[in-house]
Amino acid sequence: MARANRHYIPGCVWHITHRCHKQEFLFKFAKDRSRYLYWLFEAKKRFGLKILNYIVTSNHVHLLLFDTGQDVIPKSIQLAAGRTAQEYNQRKNRKGAFWEDRYHATAIDIEDHLYRCIIYIDLNMVRTGKIMHPGQWEASGYNEIQNPPDRYTILDRKLLMRLCQVSDSKQMSVIHQQWITDALDADISKKRDAVWSESVAVGGELFLEAINEKRKGFNKRKKIRNGSKLNLSEPTEPYNHSFDGKKDTLSQKNTYLWDENYEFSDR
Model pLDDT for residues 24-74, shown as the tens digit of each residue: 999 999 999 999 999 999 999 999 999 999 999 999 999 999 999 889 999
Read out DSSP for 41-109?
HHHHHHH--EEEEEEE-SSEEEEEEE--STTHHHHHHHHHHHHHHHHHHHHHT--S-SEEEEEEEEEE-
Q: Is 10 left (phi over 0), alpha (psi -120 to 50) or beta?
A: beta
The whole-model pTM stands at: 0.82
Q: What are phi and psi of 201, to 5 degrees?
A: -155, 155
Q: What CATH number does domain 13-257 carry, 3.20.20.70, 1.10.645.10, 3.30.70.1290, 3.60.15.10?
A: 3.30.70.1290
Of 122, 13, 2, the residue nearest 57 (C-alpha): 122
Model pLDDT for residues 198-250, shown as the tens digit of each residue: 888 999 989 988 888 887 644 444 544 554 555 555 443 332 223 233 333 22
